[in-house]
Amino acid sequence: MDHAPESLICRFTSTHLVRANRRRAAGTTLHRVRSDLLLRQSSANLDEAERQLRAVLDVARSRGARMLELRAATALATALSDARRRTEANEVLRPACATIIEGRDIADLVTARKLLEVLDRVSAPDHSAKSARFHI
C-alpha cells in the first residue's frame, strides 16, 4: 500500500502550521516592539502601549509561549513601574517569572528578576519612589 499521498498531505499541513505559527509569533513581537517605540516617543502613549502588551500576553498565555509571555510581561512591568504603578507591575511580572522552571540563567529571566528586585525594594517603606526607574 502506497502512503505517499498521505505523507505529502502531512508534510504540507505541518509546513503550513509552522509558517502560520511563525507569522503569529512575528505578529506578537511586532506588537511588543511597537509598544516600546510608543513609550520611547512619549509616556503619554502608555495606554496604547499597555493595550498592545496585554494583547501579546493574552496570545502568549493562550499558546503556552512562556518566553514570549516573559518578554511581554517584563516590557509591561517596566512601563507600569515607570508610571508609578508598581503593584500592578509586580502582579504582571511575578507570575510570568514563576512559569519558567528551566534555564534560570536565561538573559530574559535574569532581566525580569532584576526588575522584580527593584519593585520589591521600592515597595519597602524606607525607599524613595524616584529610585524605581528600570530600563531593559
Average pLDDT, the chain: 78
Q: Which residue has the higher pLDDT, 35 or 97?
A: 97
**C-alpha dist (Å) from residue 95 to 6, 16, 33, 56, 128:** 42, 32, 22, 15, 25
Does position 6 have pLDDT exceeding 70, yes or no? no
CA neighbor of 68 nearest in space, from 35, 20, 37, 25: 25
Structure confidence at residue 34 as a pLDDT band (50, 70, 90): confident
pLDDT at 29 over 50: yes
Task: Give all domains of the chain, ordered by start, each with its CATH number.
Answer: 4-132 (1.25.40)
Three-state SS annotation for 9-40? HHHHHHHHHHHHHHHHHHHHHHHHHHHHHHHH
- State the pTM of this model: 0.72
